[in-house]
Every structure is written in C-alpha cells, then in structure tokens.
C-alpha cells in the first residue's frame, strides 16, 4: 500500500511538472523557469530512505520524462537513477539535519544537470554557453526553485519515512 502511495505521488508530481507548471512559471530572457518535482522526490527518497528505491523510481520516472519531453531516449532515465543512487551512496547518514540535507540536494541538482548537459554535448544536441545569463537564469535560478520546493516538502517526507521505518522495518519500498 505504501509503495503505491509513493508511485502515485511521484506520478502526480510528474503531471504537475509537465502540464500545469509551464502555464504559471514565467519566461525570463527566453528561458522557461522549471521546477523538477520528480527529481526532488527521487533525491529525497535516495537521501532519506534507500538507494535502490531511488534508483528504481529515478529510472522509471526518468524514462517517462524521456518519452514525453526528452530529445534523446535514456538520458534522463539513466541520470535521474544514477543521481538518486549516488546521493544515498555518498551522503546518507544516520545523523541528518535539514540544513545538511538541503545542501546535499543542491549538490544532487547540480550533478543531475551537469550530467545531462555532458550527454547532450557529447551527442551534439547542446553547445555549452557559460554566459552569466545561462549560469544565473538557467542553473542557479532552477536550483533555487528546486531548493524552495525541497524545503517545503522535506519535513513531511522525512516524517513519513520515519513512520514507515518504525512500522515496516528499515526496508519497505
């Protein structure tokens, strides 16, 4: 039952991210602001729970993102799964604070977008443009919006996973 709830929440976030948010978020200097709800969810699963669950959710929802919005099949699936897995592998700790976890999420967001940019550059779909406009608007503003969303959902997500660990043990998803 709990696994189905996580799938449904991530699917609802996927729909909101792709269909509802582009209507409400503004376009600044030709760049559409974007919040990666599903990536935030996958990183929180990896950080607060287990790396294999983050890998599974990341690959599945990354593949859905590739099918709907991607320019190349498999980039988001691989990168989202890998990022969730690596966040847990390197940063999961018994003594977590909200500030530390939000900084780790910033590392995850930057790592995700850097890996996707490298894939697109290697396959000739993207030419790097490291102007102030790109770095500020496309990367830092996106990370700030994702961090704001992560700060909003961090406490309820952590309480949910702590409750599930008490109820079902350390590995339930």
Residues in the chain: 173
Three-state DSSP state, 173: coil
CB contact at 8 A, 83 and 118 = no
Predicted confidence (pLDDT) per residue in 71-111, tens digit: 889 999 999 999 999 999 998 877 788 999 999 999 999 99
Specify the DSSP element, H or E, that contains 158: helix 141-168
pLDDT of amino acid 172: 45
CB contact at 8 A, 149 and 40 = yes
Q: Is the pTM of this model over 0.85?
A: yes
Burial (CB count within 10 angstroms: exposed 0-12, middle 13-18, buried 19+), residue 160: middle
Q: How is the chain split into domains, by residue range? A: 37-168
Summarize the confidence of residues 122-133 as an average pLDDT. 76
Predicted confidence (pLDDT) per residue in 13-62, tens digit: 999 998 888 888 877 766 677 889 999 999 999 998 888 999 999 999 99
Q: Is the CATH number of domain 37-168 1.10.3680?
A: no
Tokens describing residue 106: 């910033």
């Amino acid at each position: 039952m709990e696994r189905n709830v996580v799938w449904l929440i991530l699917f609802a976030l996927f729909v909101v991210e792709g269909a509802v948010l582009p209507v409400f978020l503004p376009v600044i200097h030709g760049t559409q602001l974007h919040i990666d709800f599903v990536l935030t969810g996958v990183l929180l699963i990896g950080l607060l729970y287990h790396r294999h669950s983050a890998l599974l959710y990341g690959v599945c929802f990354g593949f859905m993102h590739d099918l709907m919005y991607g320019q190349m099949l498999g980039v988001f699936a691989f990168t989202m799964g890998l990022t969730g897995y690596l966040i847990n592998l390197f940063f999961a700790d018994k003594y977590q604070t909200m500030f530390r976890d939000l900084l780790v999420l910033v590392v995850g967001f930057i790592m995700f977008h850097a890996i996707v940019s490298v894939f697109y550059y290697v396959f000739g779909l993207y030419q790097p443009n490291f102007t102030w406009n790109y770095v500020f608007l496309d990367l830092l503003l996106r990370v700030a919006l994702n961090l704001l969303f992560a700060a909003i959902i961090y406490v309820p997500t952590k309480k949910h996973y702590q409750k599930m660990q008490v109820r079902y043990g350390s590995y339930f998803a």
